[in-house]
Amino acid sequence: MRNTPINYEIVKEKINSSGLKPDISSSTIREIVRLVNEIQEATGEKYVRMEMGVPGLPTPEILLEAGKNALKSSVTSKYPMIEGDADLKKETAKFVKLFMNLNVEAKHCIPAVGSMQSAMALFLTVNRTCIDRNKILFLDPGFPVQKQQCHVLGIDYETFDVYNFRGEKLKDKIESYLKTGNFSSIIFSNPNNPSWISFTERELKIIGELATKYETVVLEDLAYFGMDFRNDYSVPGQAPYQPSVANYTNNYVIMLSSSKVFSFAGQRLGLMVVSPNLFDKSFEGLRRNFKKDTFGYALIYGSLYTLSAGVNHSSQKAMAEMLKQVNEGNYNFIEGVKEYAERAKTMKQLFLENGFKIVYDKDEDQPIADGFYFTFSYDGLSGDELLEELLYYGISAISLKITGSERTEGMRACVSQVLPEQFKTLEERLKRFKEDH
């Protein structure tokens, strides 16, 4: 029996009985979460958990108080409006103007039950705009669940790893897909989950101009809004602004999340900001499935309405108040999450000191930011081998294989659940790993 920090026989038995073999690197995030929970319960040992992107900071008091006040006002007996709370829509439009320098109206801002539902509703809508456009292009690596949503909906997609096509090379690569005429939309996250790369302005311009040229809708997932900490995006109405493809095309939908930057994940609130041009645009293809052929109407009263009866009142009221305070300059929403960058900096250094490599390490010619995620690999081990081996050392992560990455030897680490007091444990376990490998 091997001598590893976590009981080797127990870990081995749990892995073998999990049903995740022989290809454990294809496991979903939630499957890894379940496996690690079972090992922790069986061994009594606490893991350094990096597999799931869960906020690791307390929810701001503004959100808690506003949510409580909403509940006390007896909103719970009434259904919310499907298009969203008027105050939240108004403050979202202001937020987009102040922190992105984009002009939208309240009607263009639509809440959903988290960005997961935003994506689901958008996939249902954009892929029906044109009869002959039945594919979505993923600029990967990306959030694995969005592809799972496409599988569930029966939507075809294609994907490529953008890391091999940075800068001007991105243009020819994307155009090779769009010129086929088969793609309804493009989707990407920025900063990127899982790699934490960020598109440069040059790259966003390329994406936007191609979207305009080929009349393709860009779904821009800004779940980590403002969290590229190399720049300060926290001052309302003052540059620099959060980078966005919306500066280069009118064919966009922005997905905002309350989960990470506002530590509000449990209340499931996301926001879609639809380009004014796209919101009122008619598509003949929409009439096949929706009552009207305008994009905004189909999205709200067609797709969203069939997915839920609206977003709960208290979450909407809470976020309306939070955005109001942010918009008025009374609360710096970026300052509160900068701790993630500090954690990432320390953790990356520990991995590097113990023989690991950072997989995605550059934005064109600049080092990537320290933030919510980073990626790593270990020479001589495949992604499948590395994921399993780390479990014997009390460290959990997910494989890049499930993200659309071509760097299948790598892992994605999320820093949010690793508290500073665990750094010593992480260091000791990484040292043991290095000694044994």
DSSP string, 169-237: HHHHHHHHHHTTT-EEEEEEESS-TTT-----HHHHHHHHHHHHHTT-EEEEEETTTT--TTS---STT
- Shared domain for 279 and 186, answered yes or no, is yes
Question: What does the pLDDT average to over 318-341?
Answer: 96
Percentage of the residues of the chain whose pLDDT score is greater than 90: 90
Of 280, 303, 327, the position where a domain reaches its end is 327
Element (H, E) at 254: strand 252-257
Quick one: pLDDT at residue 56?
Answer: 85
- pLDDT confidence of 200, banded at 50, 70, 90? very high
- Residue 213 shares a structural domain with residue 245: yes
Same-domain pairing of 13 and 140: no
Same domain, 259 and 164: yes
Q: How many domains does the chain have?
A: 2
Mean pLDDT of 109-133: 95
SS3 380: coil
Asked if 249 contacts 218 with a C-beta cutoff of 8 angstroms, the reply is yes
What is the bridge-based pairing of β-strands 183-189 and 217-222?
A: parallel
Residue 189 sits in the same domain as residue 280: yes
Residues 363 and 306 both lie in one domain: no
Asked which of 273, 298, 327 is the last residue of a domain, the reply is 327
* Structural domain range at position 420: 8-56+338-436
Considering the domain boundaries, does residue 69 fall inside one? no
Domain boundary, last residue among 327, 354, 378: 327
Distance of alpha carbon 84 from the chain centroid: 22
Residue 52's pLDDT is what? 87
Q: Does 199 fall in a domain?
A: yes
What's the pLDDT band for 364 if we cut at 50, 70, 90? confident
How confident is the model over 45-73, as a mean pLDDT? 93
- pLDDT interval class at 2 (50, 70, 90): confident
Burial class (CB in 10 A: 0-12, 13-18, 19+), 115: buried
Distance of CA 396 to the CA centre of its chain: 19
Tell me which DSSP letter residue 10 carries. Answer: H
Pairwise CA distance, residues 334 & 226, whole Å: 7
* pLDDT confidence of residue 217: 98
Q: How does residue 365 score in pLDDT terms, banded at 50, 70 and 90?
A: confident
For residues 369-383, give the mean pLDDT.
95
Q: Is residue 72 part of a domain?
A: no
Judge if 183 and 323 occupy the same domain. yes
Q: Is the pLDDT of residue 190 over 80?
A: yes
Residue 2 in any domain: the answer is no
Identify whether residues 299 and 358 lie together within a single domain.
no
Write the DSSP symbol of residue 60. Answer: P
pLDDT of 309 = 86
| Region 386-402 average pLDDT | 95
96 and 237 fall within a common domain? yes
The predicted-structure confidence for 241-265, as pLDDT tens digits, reads as follows: 999 999 999 999 999 999 999 999 9
Shared domain check, 97 and 34: no
In a domain, 333, yes or no: no
Question: Could you tell me if residue 36 is inside a domain?
Answer: yes
Question: For 70-94, b where at least 16 C-beta lie within 10 A, e where not — what string?
Answer: beeeebeeeebbbbbbebbbbbbbb
H helical segments located in 298-410: 305-307, 313-327, 339-353, 383-392
CA distance 369 to 231: 10
Q: What are phi and psi of 299, to 5 degrees?
A: -65, -45
Q: Which two tokens stand for residue 253?
A: 């939908």
Q: Round to whole Å and give the CA distance between 121 and 124.
A: 5
Model confidence pLDDT, tens digit, residues 281-325: 999 999 999 999 999 999 999 999 999 989 999 999 999 999 999
Look at 100-104, 139-143, 348-352 and tell me which has the smallest mean pLDDT: 139-143
Q: Sorting pLDDT into bands at 50, 70 and 90, what band is 21?
A: confident
| pLDDT over 90 (residue 74) | no
Task: Check whether 1 has a pLDDT greater than 90.
Answer: no
Residue 372 scores a pLDDT above 80: yes
CATH number at residue 138: 3.40.640.10
pLDDT at 80: 94
Whether 34 shows a pLDDT value over 90: the answer reads yes
Determine the pLDDT at residue 367. 92
228 and 277 in a single domain? The answer is yes
The answer to whether the CB of 372 falls within 8 A of the CB of 260 is yes
Asked if residue 174 and residue 86 are part of one domain, the reply reads: yes
Q: Is residue 67 assigned to a domain?
A: no
User: Is pLDDT at 333 greater than 80 in this prediction?
Assistant: yes
| Residue 239 belongs to some domain of the structure | yes
